[in-house]
A = this chain, B = another copy of it.
Amino acid sequence: KEEQQESLFEQAIEQVEPGEIALLLESLPIGDRLERWQQVAQDEQLDVLVAMRAEARGAILRTLPEPTLAALLDRVDAESLIELADDLPVAIVDDAVTRMTARQRNWFEQASQYGDDEVGRYLNHEMVLVPANARAGDALRVLLRSHYPFSDQAYLVDALGLYRGAISLKQLASLPDTQRLKEVPLLDLVPLQATTSVVDATEAVEHSGLAALPVVDTEGRLQGRISLQLALELTREEYESRLMATVGLDEETDLFSPVLQSSKRRALWLGINLLTALLASWVIGRFEATLVQVVSLAVLMPIVASMGGIAGSQTLTLVVRGLAMGQLAQGNLRALLSKEIGVGVLNGIAWSVIIGAVAGLWFGDLATGLVMAAAIIINITVAALAGVLVPVVLDRRGIDPALSGSVVLTTVTDVVGFLTFLGLGSLVLVP
């Protein structure tokens, strides 16, 4: 069994592709991971670490002595250091910064100013720059000689570093050698602002038809670019975050983080959900007297809560996606709400008939079936309402609905479910 992993690893090491090695190191238990790390070629180590998820990489970084870390960061570029900085001792980072070239230090300091969700933080600086008054022939030669990937365009900057336009390699090739670039029509594109959100920036690149878009700061200085490759990487991370957020975890979570560390990370989410569960139990506790007299209510009550939870989470997921893609605004909220309530009522009626019949037959009592049916309709409809409103309200308050939406929603569907079912049961079924 170990052989399979082993051969996979040796294959990857041979192909020497940092991204693949990173994926494989992440898939190893920590002991094996540290052992394999030794086999990674020195000139690949930095790229491999950058490609790894923060938590998995931390397990390696913590074992490296300071001189090794310093050597590793000897020729670090701005992008890599931005990615690693949070997992390194401050002194090591400061030391690496002082040893950078002035240019890279400048990029690093600029990128550090932007937040986690701003594209300015992640920019690529491997781009071809030419003076705004350059001639076509010179620009073409610079572009053809560059080894940067995705460099099918050159950016024109003036003496102050201000962005003046972009020109494609193909256009350059079609111009006479001595043609001044300031006299020709350039690529028809609007540079992105460094404060643009990562989501908007990746969508802009995807739809641009170009391999990369330039990014400028508020003063119009060229800060770097976002290539399709970077956009793909950032999109992957964005979706991973959303997927992990549904269970209160981080995108950077390591498959093999130490047990104690994992337990701590997960405990918070369990704690928050415990409060929800305690609230639901407290509601049930209000009906103790009823439950003693009509035990069928205790048997059936989880069904009411669970159907509401499922229906609500369907609506919630659809709405969270709409919010993330910028497809929900004041203008269509009411229409969405009435559609979702329509779906809730319809499914509520359909399932209440079925569940009511099952419950009635099970306990040989028509009234039990009717109480069950009524509670199901109410809870599924309330769930639809909450499924729309909870994420929208959270989003407006700047709280990530992908993370906290499901807890709030479950609280609503549990409390409403138990309250209506046990409440109706108390009124109708208690002899």
Does chain B have a CB within 8 A of A65?
no
B329 close to A4 (CB less than 8 A): yes
A343 close to B259 (CB less than 8 A): yes
The binding surface of chain A is classed by DSSP as helix
B355 close to A274 (CB less than 8 A): yes
Does chain B have a CB within 8 A of A236?
yes
A346 close to B260 (CB less than 8 A): yes
- A65 nearest CB across to chain B (Å): 26
> How far is it, in angstroms, between the C-alpha of A203 and the C-alpha of B322 when the chains are bound?
26
The complex is assembled from copies of this chain, and their number is 2
Stretch at the interface among A19-27, A38-46, A115-123: A19-27
> How far is it, in angstroms, between the C-alpha of A318 and the C-alpha of B253 when the chains are bound?
8
Residue in A28, A298, A354 with the greatest tally of chain B CB atoms within 10 Å: A298
Q: Binary interface profile of A, 397-421, with partner B (CB < 8 Å = 1, else 0)? A: 0000000000000000010000000
- A225 nearest CB across to chain B (Å): 14
Residues of B within 8 A of A239 (CB): 235-236, 239-240, 242-243
Does chain B have a CB within 8 A of A305?
yes
Residues of B within 8 A of A3 (CB): 331
Stretch at the interface among A70-78, A130-138, A167-175: A167-175
The interface of chain A, by Cβ under 8 A from chain B, is 1-6, 8, 17, 19-20, 23-24, 26-29, 144, 149-150, 152, 169-170, 173-174, 202-203, 205-207, 209-211, 227-229, 231-233, 235-236, 239-240, 242-244, 246-249, 253, 255-256, 259-260, 262-263, 266-267, 269-271, 273-274, 276-278, 280-281, 284-285, 288, 291-292, 295, 298-300, 302-303, 305-307, 310-311, 313-314, 316-318, 321-322, 325-332, 334-336, 339, 342-343, 346-347, 350-351, 354-355, 358, 362, 414
- For the complex of A and B, the 8 pairs showing the least CB-CB separation, nearest first, are A5-B331, A239-B239, A228-B228, A27-B327, A298-B298, A259-B342, A29-B335, A263-B346
